Amino acid sequence: MAAAVQNLFKQKEVLAALQKEMVENLHEYEKTLAERNVNAGMLQIYGDFFAWKRRQINLQQTAIRNAAAKREECLANLLNAQKKVESLEQLRQKRFEEYRYEAFAEEQKQIDEIGLQMHMRRA
């Protein structure tokens, strides 16, 4: 479970870094456009770069969804294990109560028998 949570956290950090890079590169692109130092080749390079960066971001978002699904799966497994432990604990408690009841009944039977023998000896 911890590994799944850590993986999800890492994936989110990677996405944040990619998005930060995208914003920085957009600012650089806008600055280049403002300076009017742009030609067709440069526009093509920026277009390809931003398309590639968007693909990276989309892939990272998919990785985050997969990591979140894995975390949810681990959480479900943990909850199932916890339910089993609780069931076993309840069963253990029930068996202990049954044992105590049987031990008390046996002890009471022996006390009654001793009392009966003492009464029979006096009579």
Question: What is the chain's alpha carbon radius of gyration, rounded to the nearest angstrom?
Answer: 36
Round the average pLDDT of the chain to a whole number and report it: 92
Q: Is 123's pLDDT higher than 80?
A: no
Nearest residue to 8 via CA among 53, 54, 70, 58: 70
The span from the CA of 1 to the CA of 65, in Å, is 16
Q: What is the DSSP string of 55-81?
A: HHHHHHHHHHHHHHHHHHHHHHHHHHH
The span from the CA of 58 to the CA of 2, in Å, is 25
Under the banding of pLDDT at 50, 70 and 90, the label for residue 39 is confident
Q: Which residue has the tokens 């949810």?
A: 72
In this structure, what token pair is assigned to residue 7? 């993986």
In this structure, what token pair is assigned to residue 94? 């029930």
The span from the CA of 75 to the CA of 83, in Å, is 12
pLDDT in tens, 47-100: 999 999 999 999 999 999 999 999 999 999 999 999 999 999 999 999 999 999
The span from the CA of 81 to the CA of 92, in Å, is 16
The span from the CA of 120 to the CA of 115, in Å, is 9
